[in-house]
């Protein structure tokens, strides 16, 4: 089936899939379900925050200011989900591992810059940017865990079924909250909405811990995959060391530049620069399948970030509100100290 591609590219073993296509589909389905759970819970969190910050507004105004409407965007959600399934199924474990390691480096850089800068970006913005990296992390972790397993297809099917169930529950929760939360939170006769009213503010912290755990496991699997495929050859480390250092400096520079800029266009520009640098890296040390998979990742990042403009705007608005509250609090404290000193 893939003989024409193999003849053109000159690599007779080249195929879009690195293993059994059915296994690749199950892995892509698990990754897409993980991204769906993350986005749905982030939308629930931002909707609750919007409602709590604007209790005096009407229900229609709250719905219009929420980070999305599940009724009007249902077809886009379906297209996004199955597009991610296809993209994550095609992208091989080699490129997925590099994507995970690159995002881990970005996360550490963001954490370090936030520790030095009190006005650093919040965790919700980093979670929004981690969508495609989380999907790649889930797929490469599954590849690592099921490598050489005798019944890998059955195990991946069970993992995909569980992921589908979790994604369905999270989507149902978001649909219920977007429709009923403004009414149920005031009437207090819905168990779901009462629970979210009392503990919904902790969703972001729990999501952050879950994503950190998933990416930490994926980082171990990715490091093993990168070593087996790229660094195990003789003298490979001598060639990879300067490239890795240059890429690290580029990631740190882009992270600092992103902290200085605002708006969603800056995030898209940063994603294009990162993947462009990864494409140059694969042109230098990879094969044609790696180059093809990196080109596919451009589509994957676009499928994740473009429909998430509502989440990005909500996160940036929350950062602005937090900075304004902090500045006003500092102003009040300064005024109080001045008045007490005069007395």
Q: In this structure, what token pair is assigned to residue 339?
A: 């008045």
Query: Alpha-carbon Rg of the chain, whole angstroms?
Result: 22
The per-residue b/e assignment along 245-274, b for 16 or more CB within 10 angstroms, e otherwise, is eebeeebbebbeebbeeeebeebbebbeeb
Q: In this structure, what token pair is assigned to residue 30?
A: 């698990």
Q: In Å, how far from its chain's centre is CA 8?
A: 35
How confident is the model over 285-334, as pLDDT tens digits?
778 888 899 999 999 999 998 888 888 888 777 766 665 655 555 555 66
Residue 343's SS3 state is coil
Rounded to 10°, the helix 93-116/131-145 angle is 130
How confident is the model over 174-211, as pLDDT tens digits?
998 888 887 777 776 787 888 888 888 889 999 999 99
More confident residue, 156 or 233: 156
Nearest to residue 252, comparing CAs of 119, 109, 121, 123? 109
C-beta atoms surrounding 279 within 10 Å: 17
How much is the mean pLDDT over the chain? 78
Characterise 263 by phi-psi region: left (phi > 0), alpha (psi -120 to 50), beta (else).
left
Q: In this structure, what token pair is assigned to residue 312?
A: 């990005």
Residue whose token pair is 């690749």: 24
Q: pLDDT exceeding 70 applies to what percent of the chain?
A: 72
Fill in the DSSP letter of residue 190. Answer: -
Q: How far is CA 242 from CA 44, 50, 101, 246, in A?
A: 43, 47, 16, 6
Dihedral Cα 188, 193, 194, 195, nearest 10 deg: 170
Compute the half-sphere exposure of residue 210: CA atoms within 13 Å on the CB side of its CA: 17
Does the structure show a pLDDT above 90 at 150? no
For the chain, give every domain's residue range.
17-148+158-323
Distance, CA of 342 to CA of 334 (rounded, Å): 12
- In this prediction, residues 143-165 reach a mean pLDDT of 90
Percent helix, percent strand, percent coil in the chain, to nearest 5: 85, 0, 15
Distance, CA of 22 to CA of 200 (rounded, Å): 38
- In this prediction, residues 12-20 reach a mean pLDDT of 53
pLDDT for residue 53: 67
How confident is the model over 58-85, as pLDDT tens digits?
444 444 444 555 545 678 888 999 999 9
Q: Are 129 and 92 in contact (CB under 8 A)?
A: no
pLDDT level of residue 117 (50, 70, 90 thresholds)? very low
């Amino acid at each position: 089936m893939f003989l024409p591609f193999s003849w053109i590219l000159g690599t007779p073993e080249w195929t879009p899939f690195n293993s059994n296509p059915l296994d690749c589909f199950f892995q892509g389905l698990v990754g897409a379900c993980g991204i769906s759970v993350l986005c749905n819970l982030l939308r629930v969190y931002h909707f609750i925050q919007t409602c709590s910050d604007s209790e005096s507004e009407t229900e229609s105004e709250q719905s219009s200011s929420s980070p999305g409407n599940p009724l009007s965007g249902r077809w886009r959600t379906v297209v996004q989900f199955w597009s991610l399934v296809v993209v994550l199924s095609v992208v091989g474990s080699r490129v997925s591992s590099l994507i995970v390691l690159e995002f881990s480096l970005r996360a550490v850089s963001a954490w370090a810059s936030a520790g030095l800068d009190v006005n650093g970006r919040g965790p919700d913005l980093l979670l929004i940017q981690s969508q495609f990296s989380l999907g790649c992390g889930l797929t490469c972790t599954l590849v690592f865990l099921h490598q050489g397993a005798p019944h890998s297809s059955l195990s991946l099917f069970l993992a995909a079924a569980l992921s589908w169930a979790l994604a369905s529950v999270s989507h149902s929760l978001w649909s219920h909250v977007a429709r009923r939360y403004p009414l149920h939170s005031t009437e207090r006769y819905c168990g779901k909405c009462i629970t979210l009213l009392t503990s919904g503010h902790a969703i972001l912290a729990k999501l952050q811990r879950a994503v950190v755990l998933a990416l930490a496991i994926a980082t171990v699997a990715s490091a093993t995959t990168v070593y087996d495929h790229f660094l195990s050859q003789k003298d490979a480390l001598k060639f990879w060391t300067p490239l890795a250092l240059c890429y690290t400096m580029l990631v740190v520079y882009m992270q600092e530049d992103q902290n200085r800029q605002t708006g969603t266009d800056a995030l898209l520009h940063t994603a294009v620069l990162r993947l462009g640098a990864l494409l140059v890296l694969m042109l230098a040390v990879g094969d044609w399948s790696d180059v093809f998979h990196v080109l596919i990742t451009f589509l994957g990042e676009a499928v994740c970030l473009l429909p998430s403009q509502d989440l990005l705007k909500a996160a940036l608005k929350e950062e602005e509100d937090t900075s304004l509250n902090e500045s006003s609090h500092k102003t009040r404290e300064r005024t109080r100290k001045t008045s007490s000193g005069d007395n």
